[in-house]
Chains A and B, each alone.
Chain A
Amino acid sequence: MPGSLVLVTVHVPDIRISRPQVQPERPIPDAQKLAGESTSDVSAVRKFLLSRGNSSIADAVFHWLMVLCGLSIFAIVALIAFELVLRSQLSWQKFGLSFFYQAFTDRETHLPMFWDPVNEHFSALPFVYGTLVSSFLALLISVPLAIGLAIFLTEMCPLALRGPLAFLTELLAAIPSVIYGLWAVFVLVPLLRAHINPFLIHGFGWTGLFNDENPTGLGFLAAGVILAIMILPIISSLTREVMTAVPHSQREAVLALGATRWEMIRMGVLRNARIGIVGGIILGLGRALGETMAVAMVIGNTPEIHRSLLSNGSTMSAVIANEYAEAVSDMHFSALTEIGLALFIITIIVNALAQLLIWMVTRGTPSQVH
Chain B
Amino acid sequence: MGVGIEVTNLNAWYGTNHTLQDINLNIPANHATALIGPSGCGKSTFVRCLNRMHETNPIARVTGTVRIGDLDIYVDAKPVEIRRRVGMVFQRPNPFPTMSIYDNVASGLKLNGYSNRRGLDEIVEKSLKNSALWDEVKDDLRKKSGASLSGGQQQRLCIARALAVDPEVLLMDEPASALDPVSTSKIEDLIFQLKSQYTIVIVTHNMQQAARVAEKTGFFLNGRMVEFDSTHKIFTNPSDKRTEDYITGRFG
With beta carbons under 8 angstroms apart, the residue of B56, B97, B108, B178 that contacts A258 is B108
- B165 at interface, CB cutoff 8 A: yes
CB <8 Å contact, A267 and B96: yes
- A39 at interface, CB cutoff 8 A: no
- A120 at interface, CB cutoff 8 A: no
A268 to B87: give the CA distance in the assembly, Å. 17
Taking CB atoms, residues of chain B closer than 8 Å to A259 are: 80, 83, 111
Taking CB atoms, residues of chain B closer than 8 Å to A257 are: 83-84, 107-108, 111, 161-162, 165
CB <8 Å contact, B84 and A370: no
With beta carbons under 8 angstroms apart, the residue of B58, B87, B98, B154 that contacts A256 is B87
CB <8 Å contact, A368 and B147: yes
Number of interface residues of B (CB under 8 A): 33
Q: Which of B86-130 contact A (CB under 8 A)?
A: 87-88, 90, 92-99, 107-108, 111-112
A contact patch SS: helix
CB <8 Å contact, A258 and B84: yes
- A249 at interface, CB cutoff 8 A: yes
Q: Report, as a range, how many residues of chain A touch the other chain.
A: 20 to 34
Q: In whole Å, how far is B179's beta carbon from the nearest beta carbon of chain A?
A: 9
CB <8 Å contact, B97 and A255: no
CB <8 Å contact, B58 and A369: no
Scoring B residues 45 to 77 as 1 if CB is less than 8 Å from chain A, else 0, what string do you get? 000000101001010000000000000000000
Which residue, of B83, B150, B154, has the highest number of chain A Cβ atoms within 10 A? B83
- B240 at interface, CB cutoff 8 A: no
CB <8 Å contact, A370 and B98: no
Scoring B residues 133 to 169 as 1 if CB is less than 8 Å from chain A, else 0, what string do you get? 0000000000000010011001000100110010000
Taking CB atoms, residues of chain B closer than 8 Å to A366 are: 97-98, 147
- B189 at interface, CB cutoff 8 A: no
Which residue, of B58, B96, B151, has the highest number of chain A Cβ atoms within 10 A? B96
Taking CB atoms, residues of chain A closer than 8 Å to B95 are: 253, 369
Closest A residue, CB atoms, query B149: A370
Scoring A residues 80 to 99 as 1 if CB is less than 8 Å from chain B, else 0, what string do you get? 00000000000000000000
CB <8 Å contact, A369 and B53: no
Q: In whole Å, how far is A30's beta carbon from the nearest beta carbon of chain B?
A: 42
A-B contact count (CB 8 A): 83
Q: Which of A327-343 contact B (CB under 8 A)?
A: none
CB <8 Å contact, A255 and B94: no
Closest A residue, CB atoms, query B104: A253
A258 to B112: give the CA distance in the assembly, Å. 8
A260 to B99: give the CA distance in the assembly, Å. 19
Taking CB atoms, residues of chain A closer than 8 Å to B178 are: 370
Closest A residue, CB atoms, query B165: A257
CB <8 Å contact, B83 and A258: yes
Contacts A267-B107, A272-B97; is A255 near B92 (CB within 8 Å)? Answer: no
- B245 at interface, CB cutoff 8 A: no
With beta carbons under 8 angstroms apart, the residue of A255, A258, A369 that contacts B154 is A369
- A154 at interface, CB cutoff 8 A: no
Q: Which of B189-237 contact A (CB under 8 A)?
A: none
With beta carbons under 8 angstroms apart, the residue of B82, B97, B161 that contacts A368 is B97
CB <8 Å contact, A252 and B94: yes
Q: In whole Å, how far is B60's beta carbon from the nearest beta carbon of chain A?
A: 13
Scoring A residues 347 to 370 as 1 if CB is less than 8 Å from chain B, else 0, what string do you get? 000000000000000000011111
With beta carbons under 8 angstroms apart, the residue of A252, A253, A260, A272 that contacts B98 is A272
Closest B residue, CB atoms, query A365: B97
Contacts A253-B158, A267-B107; is A367 near B90 (CB within 8 Å)? Answer: no
With beta carbons under 8 angstroms apart, the residue of A253, A260, A263 that contacts B90 is A253
With beta carbons under 8 angstroms apart, the residue of B84, B92, B108 that contacts A249 is B92
Closest B residue, CB atoms, query A249: B94
With beta carbons under 8 angstroms apart, the residue of B51, B96, B98, B111 that contacts A263 is B111
A272 to B158: give the CA distance in the assembly, Å. 17
Taking CB atoms, residues of chain A closer than 8 Å to B150 are: 370
CB <8 Å contact, B94 and A247: yes
A235 to B87: give the CA distance in the assembly, Å. 36
Taking CB atoms, residues of chain B closer than 8 Å to A258 are: 80-84, 108, 111-112, 165
CB <8 Å contact, B111 and A367: no
Scoring A residues 131 to 168 as 1 if CB is less than 8 Å from chain B, else 0, what string do you get? 00000000000000000000000000001000000000
Taking CB atoms, residues of chain A closer than 8 Å to B56 are: 252, 255
CB <8 Å contact, B96 and A370: no
CB <8 Å contact, A256 and B83: yes
Taking CB atoms, residues of chain A closer than 8 Å to B94 are: 247, 249-250, 252-253, 369
A274 to B96: give the CA distance in the assembly, Å. 13
A263 to B84: give the CA distance in the assembly, Å. 13
Q: In whole Å, how far is B49's beta carbon from the nearest beta carbon of chain A?
A: 13
Taking CB atoms, residues of chain B closer than 8 Å to A250 are: 94, 96
In the complex, 5 of the A-B residue pairs with CB atoms within 8 angstroms, ordered by the A residue number, are A257-B161, A271-B96, A369-B93, A369-B154, A370-B154
Binding site for B on A (CB under 8 A): 159, 247, 249-250, 252-260, 263, 267-268, 271-272, 274, 366-370
Given A253-B161, A256-B90, A370-B92, 15 additional A-B pairs, CB 8 A: A249-B92, A252-B56, A253-B90, A255-B53, A257-B161, A257-B165, A258-B80, A259-B80, A263-B111, A272-B97, A366-B147, A369-B147, A369-B154, A370-B93, A370-B151
Binding site for A on B (CB under 8 A): 51, 53, 56, 58, 80-84, 87-88, 90, 92-99, 107-108, 111-112, 147, 150-151, 154, 158, 161-162, 165, 178
